[in-house]
Structure 1
Amino acid sequence: MPLSPRAKYWLVSFVITLWLSLSAGAFWYYQWRWNEQFSSLDQLALFDGTEFSALLTRASVPGKISLIHLGRDDCFCNRFNEPHRQAIKAKYEPLGIIFQTLPLPTQLNVATPAVALVSAQGQLAYFGPYSDSLLCSLGDGLVEPLLDQLLLGYLPDVIHTTGVGCFCTQKTE
């Protein structure tokens, strides 16, 4: 039995309302559930490598340029940083750069994700963010020019930096 125009109208209205509700629910689940953590997206983070210099140089490989990723597993910002890290690794690992990860305990007050570059001579050359952009995007990298300088034998000394972007810091409770 065919539906009357009025019944078709209500059926179409119901289907559209259901579809919009499900779409809004999916959007909330995948995006807005992080809403509290988005406060970390546009924050200024200070990086001071002075207190970590000895730890980072011990973690490096002697005689090799080392890129040491500093992070926490529970940091929401890692998902934005990962594509940039992979692109850097794909470009510089074949050139002899050693890539390492140094997990940081949450009680250390360091903004993460962060990166340290240690020269082949064992000197801390850089400590700070991967890039200076909201989501640590590929085109705004701070690390790549410094790696190029290290490969050419220059020793940059950039261990006190700031960055604006997505960083996780020590939780204050």
Structure 2
Amino acid sequence: MKAALGYVLIACWASALLGGMWLYSRTQLSEFDPALQLNSAAAEPGFDERVVEALIAAGATPGSVIHFARRQNCFCETLTQPHRQQLLSALAGFSAITLDPDNIAFLSAFLSHTPAVAVIDRQRRLRYLGPYAQGYGCMTGRTFVEAIISSVTTRYNPAAVVNSNATGCFCQR
């Protein structure tokens, strides 16, 4: 009888612990583009060219991987470090730059969450704009690094890959 009661108490404790962890982890997830601002902007004609112009005016050069981060201390920024390293090693010869989207008027209107990345090829074309990954902590979910590399290294399509549909660890303004 005492053993059965012990097992029931352990099961209740484990259930409460797992439930608490699940509830806590749900608060760590946010949408990358919750108001669909980036999604809407990307549908406008000339969007890619305006993004490239704004990034070059902010200091990027053709052949750049631009990491977007805000000046705030946000743990999600540190989680992208492996993704950034993987991307830069795969895109040898591309320069790396970090920009705060709030300092770029055109981008601040629709890039509300970071960390994010943009890639401009050597012909001044936007190849990718969006998050590095999605999922809990941007580590256990799906990484977009291989898709980013593919979008940069394959034949250019008429428009960039703009990924606004992701849920993960993102910092908001």
Q: TM tier, shorter chain?
A: 0.5 to 0.7
State the match for 2:120 in structure 1. 117
Matches within 5 A, 1:90-101: 90-92=89-91, 95-101=92-98
State the match for 2:153 in structure 1. 148
Deviation at 1:165, TM superposition (A): 2.4
Q: 1:11 and 1:160, CA in 2 relative to 1: closer, same or farther beyond 3 A? A: closer
Deviates more, 1:76-85 or 1:44-53: 76-85
**Which digits, 9 at most, give the CA deviation of each residue in 1:106-157, with x for residues without a partner?**
98122352413142x6x3443523689886624751x3245436xxxx8x47
Partner SS, residue 54 of structure 2? helix
CA distance in 1, matches of 2:164, 2:126: 20
1:65 to 2:59 alignment: no
What TM-score comes out, normalization by structure 1 length?
0.59
State the match for 2:4 in structure 1. 9
Q: Write the letter of the residue equivalent to 1:18.
A: W
State the match for 2:28 in structure 1. 34
- Is the contact between residue 66 and residue 97 of structure 1 (CA under 8 Å) also seen in structure 2? yes
Partner SS, residue 45 of structure 1? helix
Unaligned runs of 5+ residues in structure 1 are 1-5
Unaligned runs of 5+ residues in structure 2 are 136-140
**Which digits, 9 at most, give the CA deviation of each residue in 1:20-69, with x for residues without a partner?**
2112212222x22235x25858x7824323333333123124xx622212
CA distance in 2, matches of 1:91, 1:9: 57
State the match for 1:128 in structure 2. 129
State the match for 2:138 in structure 1. none
Aligned residue pairs total 151
Which protein shows a greater Rg? 1
CA distance in 1, matches of 2:151, 2:97: 17
CA distance in 2, matches of 1:139, 1:161: 12
- Is the contact between residue 70 and residue 116 of structure 1 (CA under 8 Å) also seen in structure 2? no
Partner SS, residue 149 of structure 2? helix
- Is the contact between residue 110 and residue 170 of structure 1 (CA under 8 Å) also seen in structure 2? no
Deviation at 1:71, TM superposition (A): 4.2
Task: Report the RMSD for the aligned CA atoms in angstroms.
Answer: 4.2
